[in-house]
Amino acid sequence: MRIVITGIPGTGKTLLAEKIAGNMNLLIVRIADIARESRLDRGNEHEVDIRKLAPKLEFLREREDYVVEGHLACELRLPSDVVVVLRTHPYVLRERLEKRGYKGEKLKENLEAEMLDYCVQRVEQEYGAEPLELDTTNRLVDESARVLEEAIRQKKKKIDSVNYSKELKEHLEPGGSK
């Protein structure tokens, strides 16, 4: 099984990938680690040259048993049986990102990317199919893993339907969240 898990920072990719890899006995591949080890991240995992990163992941073509995780996975076409985009309500995501030290433009960009379905749209472009969307807003990692594993077993085409257009509208209105 080849699983790709992507989403905006703070949605739970790393924890879920670790849980899924352990439960399903799969290799875990962390894109941020590969970028860092290859010195492609310039000390910042959010600024990576995708063209230089892609060849570092070519080894995946020889494997059939992995979970790849990282927000950059939506920018790459990786061999996959399942592509999952983790989603988190912007208000909850804001709290998570602020705890990580995100602020200013970096915080705003990530919240807007979530509200605009950025990762979903990129997956559709790169992989040529709709991803499974998994809302992690009110789910702990064990429940998220159970839901995802069940969806994979049952070959589901949909888990959650996520739409933050109302939140985006509020965000864009004068006096909306910054």
Q: Domains of the chain: which residue ranges? A: 2-172
pLDDT at 175: 66
Which residue has 């230089």 as its token pair?
52
pLDDT at 45: 54
Q: What pTM, to 2 d.p., does this model score? A: 0.92
Digit-coded pLDDT (tens) for 94-117: 999 999 999 999 999 999 999 999
Q: Where are the beta strands (DSSP E) in 14-170?
A: 27-30, 66-69, 82-87, 132-135
pLDDT at 44: 58
Give the residue ranges of the chain where pLDDT is below 70: 42-46, 175-178
Q: What fold, for 2-172? A: Rossmann fold (3.40.50)
pLDDT at 173: 78
Side-by-side strand order, sheet with 66-69: 27-30, 66-69, 2-7, 82-87, 132-135
Digit-coded pLDDT (tens) for 62-85: 999 999 999 999 999 999 999 999
